[in-house]
Structure 1
Amino acid sequence: MAGILAAHQSAQFTVTELAKMVGHSGGAVGNACETLVTRGEAERIGMQPRTYRATASTASAAQRTPVSPPPPRASASPQQAPAAPKPGPPAPGAKPLPILRPNGQHYHPRALANLPDVEALRRLRTASVPVLLYGPPGTGKTSLIEAAFDDLITVAGDGDTTVGDLIGEYTQDEQGGYEFIYGPLVTAMQEGRALLLDDATLISPKVLAALYPAMDGRRQIQVKAHKGETITAAPGFYVIAGHNPGVHGAVLTEALASRFSVQIQVGSDYDLAAALKINRTAVRIARNIAARQQIGEVGWAPQLRELLAFSKISEVLGAEAAFANLVGIAPLEDRDTIAEIVAKATGRPVTALALGRQL
């Protein structure tokens, strides 16, 4: 990247243009450019689409880094991206290392089809197989996707999500005029990035229909609001979604389900909670409640997110307050049962965390 930018000091390039020049995915090229920006060896001058140009330090960066010519590319139709080499399997018996997420927290890979889950998702992306992850909130669906794809763009879906939120819309500029700002779907297509539809099943089916042409063999969408412009997905573009079946209003339609060839159930890893040294009694309580949820005695069980919160609350307010809060966050219809389970495990009565008498 540094070599190309240095050779064209006054020019500016989008990620898509650079990806075509070097023969790599938009995600990899975008990451390389951001690394140069962080070092002060390139300048980002636009975000939609991401655009870069050289700085005074770019030439020296290019001289320090040996540049190999881009690999020959087989001809490919717009509908089919060139196949990327498959990553090799992990060494037998080797435990995958934790992966740093954008929020600074580490993700600990789990097993999926005899592979680390992040590796399995990356292989599915290479093969252009869309994935739907489903399970209760707080089980780590988003964490897994963030760990697997470092070029991720996320759409937080809800009932108010519109077609404009996905594709783009006109926005007033500083001069009082209007300009069309591309949405996350178009940006991901142009730059060859991964797009996460978080809580996809909360989005209206009519809105999701705008996405489907980008996911099938056409890999194109038409932006009717912007002069009928046709957007074709760059190599590397990939769609993955999250679904919370128990959330009110979440509906997995047949049209949506049929677009995701692989559907993976995600539950909380209580062994990981124990390995993270979360209070053993809290983990035991969570396992107990989860077992009762499986047989229909309760409708809610604390997931890894709640256990991580328990650990922080315990550090700040003490274990007694953390257990009381665990009871308090349970749905009202399950609260008495949860209180009974917590009381039995801790050996003392526990009620929801509440204010006491005036001090």
Structure 2
Amino acid sequence: MTTVPTTPTAAAPATTAPAPAAPGRLGQGELRRRVAVVLSDLPGDVFTPGEIARALGRSAGAVGNALAALTDRGEAELVSASPRRYRATATTDEAAKGGGAPRTRPVPAPAAAPARSKVAPASPSGTSGASEKGSAKGGKAAPGGPVVRPNGQTYHPRRLADLPDVAALRKLREASVPAMLYGPPGTGKTSLVEAAFPDLITVAGDGDTAVADFVGEYTQAPGGGYEFVYGPLVTAMTEGRALLIDDATLISPKVLAVVYPAMDGRRQITVKAHKGEVITAAEGFYVVAGHNPGVHGAVLTEALASRFAAQIRVSTDYDLARALDIAPRAVRVARNLARRQESGEIGWAPQLRELINFQKVAGVLGDEAAVANLLGVAPEEDRDVVAEVVSAVYGRAVTPLALGQQV
């Protein structure tokens, strides 16, 4: 089970805040407007999501998501990434206009502005501060470049509905439209979600995943006795964070049913194991799922599919593989095998993960070993066809990577 720190038993997010803003759910885009008001009232100052959240009486996760959306539109600027600090741009005041709460209300104490770099910092959507300002006339930030994931690795956005995929997922979250990403393992589904949502909590699904892995369970306390430790679903709900259910179709439908009430109009769950406590989702709570069709044991039920209005196919980006300087012949092998997989001739083809691993092995053991290893990772039932394609591309017979004679 994924263990998370104990959170308050109240059905509201665990934030300390005054009550300048009315509690409860806001209308679509209203939190973003209120955050813009804070920034535009003090255009020369910088703020963390937590500082704005305390002033508005909202969760830091929800405010962070609103700031990311404003940055995508060029209506806020990410000044520093660690900790995240934001300030107004030339178009923030326009974002702050409209109906809703009045502008006069408490504002957070400004954080000390960090030293400015000559190079504009990258925004979560992959656009630089300079490009955001340059796009102010158009009202939207232009699609940008790579996005740094929480683990420090780089994600390269792809096009989705005329937007960078990271920005598209954030818009779906803003509109409370749950998304399911499906495609072969290793195509970057998890990487995309991590790049889109810095506040992400993940449940890794398998056949043994239980209800307790979502809502929590009693564990032995250090001082004796037992205490209830909340699970990732409750944490995401109370803190207004994004929840990724990875390999969701490997989880028993009876277990997944615990998430459904949190996703529909009720936005509540009952934790039967903890005195029947009712948990209500804070603003910003969002569920996204990953599904690997064709993987043994993966079953996409109608009940699960119907909960995700947006279902997005994710496949390997071979152009990106070339841009990452992966050997062209290895990319050609992957393309050829992908076509055979689509025709039903085989069930496996190398995805971006395997191609990246190919490059790593080549860098350590050489190209010949990497080619042999690529054949070796193929499932046995597909290995003859894979060997045929690899041999045709490389112009020589290839066998799986194996130990040879004693040296």
TM range (shorter): 0.7 to 0.9
Partner residue of 2:60 out of 18, 26, 29:
26
- What residue is the counterpart of 2:89 in the other structure? none
Asked if the contact 2:214–2:233 (Cα under 8 Å) also holds between the matched residues in 1, the reply is yes
Provide the C-alpha distance between the structure 2 equivalents of 1:222 and 1:239, rounded to a whole number of angstroms: 17
Provide the C-alpha distance between the structure 1 equivalents of 2:266 and 2:230, rounded to a whole number of angstroms: 20
> For residue 353 of structure 2, what is the amino acid of its counterpart?
R
Structure 1 stretch 15-24 or stretch 336-345: which is displaced more?
Answer: 15-24
Provide the C-alpha distance between the structure 2 equivalents of 1:294 and 1:63, rounded to a whole number of angstroms: 54
Provide the C-alpha distance between the structure 2 equivalents of 1:16 and 1:235, rounded to a whole number of angstroms: 13
Asked if the contact 2:15–2:58 (Cα under 8 Å) also holds between the matched residues in 1, the reply is no
Count of aligned pairs between the two proteins? 300
State the Cα deviation string for residues 26-50 of structure 1 (Å, max 9, x = none).
3155799xx99x77xxxxxxxxxxx
Asked if the contact 1:16–1:190 (Cα under 8 Å) also holds between the matched residues in 2, the reply is no
Partner residue of 1:125 out of 173, 187, 192:
173
* Alignment pair present for 1:191 and 2:191: no
Deviation of 1:21 after TM superposition, in Å, equals 4.5
After superposition, the CA RMSD in angstroms is 2.4
- What residue is the counterpart of 2:191 in the other structure? 143
Asked if the contact 2:268–2:279 (Cα under 8 Å) also holds between the matched residues in 1, the reply is yes
Deviation of 1:340 after TM superposition, in Å, equals 1.3
Check 1:312–1:288 CA distance in 2 against 1; reply closer, same or farther (3 A cut).
same
Asked if the contact 1:327–1:339 (Cα under 8 Å) also holds between the matched residues in 2, the reply is yes
Deviation of 1:295 after TM superposition, in Å, equals 1.1
Deviation of 1:103 after TM superposition, in Å, equals 2.1
- What residue is the counterpart of 1:16 in the other structure? 15
Asked if the contact 1:199–1:242 (Cα under 8 Å) also holds between the matched residues in 2, the reply is yes
Asked if the contact 1:160–1:203 (Cα under 8 Å) also holds between the matched residues in 2, the reply is yes
- What residue is the counterpart of 1:114 in the other structure? 162
Deviation of 1:348 after TM superposition, in Å, equals 1.2
Structure 1 segments unaligned to the other structure (5+ residues): 1-12, 40-60, 66-86
Partner residue of 2:298 out of 247, 250, 261:
250
Provide the C-alpha distance between the structure 1 equivalents of 2:296 and 2:376, rounded to a whole number of angstroms: 20
Deviation of 1:297 after TM superposition, in Å, equals 1.8
Matches of residues 296-307 of structure 1 in structure 2 within 5 Å? 296-307=344-355
> For residue 346 of structure 1, what is the amino acid of its counterpart?
Y
- What residue is the counterpart of 1:218 in the other structure? 266
Q: Secondary structure at the match of 2:306?
A: helix
Matches of residues 227-238 of structure 1 in structure 2 within 5 Å? 227-238=275-286
Moved over 6 A (4+): none
> For residue 60 of structure 2, what is the amino acid of its counterpart?
G
Matches of residues 1-359 of structure 1 in structure 2 within 5 Å? 15-18=14-17, 19=53, 21-27=55-61, 64=112, 89-91=140-142, 95-359=143-407
Asked if the contact 1:26–1:236 (Cα under 8 Å) also holds between the matched residues in 2, the reply is no
Q: Given the two structures, how large is their TM-score scaled by the length of structure 2? A: 0.70
Provide the C-alpha distance between the structure 2 equivalents of 1:88 and 1:339, rounded to a whole number of angstroms: 52
Deviation of 1:294 after TM superposition, in Å, equals 1.1
Provide the C-alpha distance between the structure 2 equivalents of 1:194 and 1:15, rounded to a whole number of angstroms: 15
Q: Secondary structure at the match of 1:251?
A: coil
> For residue 258 of structure 1, what is the amino acid of its counterpart?
S
Q: Secondary structure at the match of 1:195?
A: strand
Check 1:17–1:344 CA distance in 2 against 1; reply closer, same or farther (3 A cut).
same
State the Cα deviation string for residues 196-246 of structure 1 (Å, max 9, x = none).
000001111111111111000010011111111111000000000000011
Check 1:98–1:24 CA distance in 2 against 1; reply closer, same or farther (3 A cut).
farther
Provide the C-alpha distance between the structure 2 equivalents of 1:354 and 1:149, rounded to a whole number of angstroms: 41
Provide the C-alpha distance between the structure 2 equivalents of 1:179 and 1:257, rounded to a whole number of angstroms: 35
Structure 1 stretch 97-106 or stretch 142-151: which is displaced more?
Answer: 97-106
Provide the C-alpha distance between the structure 1 equivalents of 2:162 and 2:343, rounded to a whole number of angstroms: 28
Deviation of 1:104 after TM superposition, in Å, equals 1.7
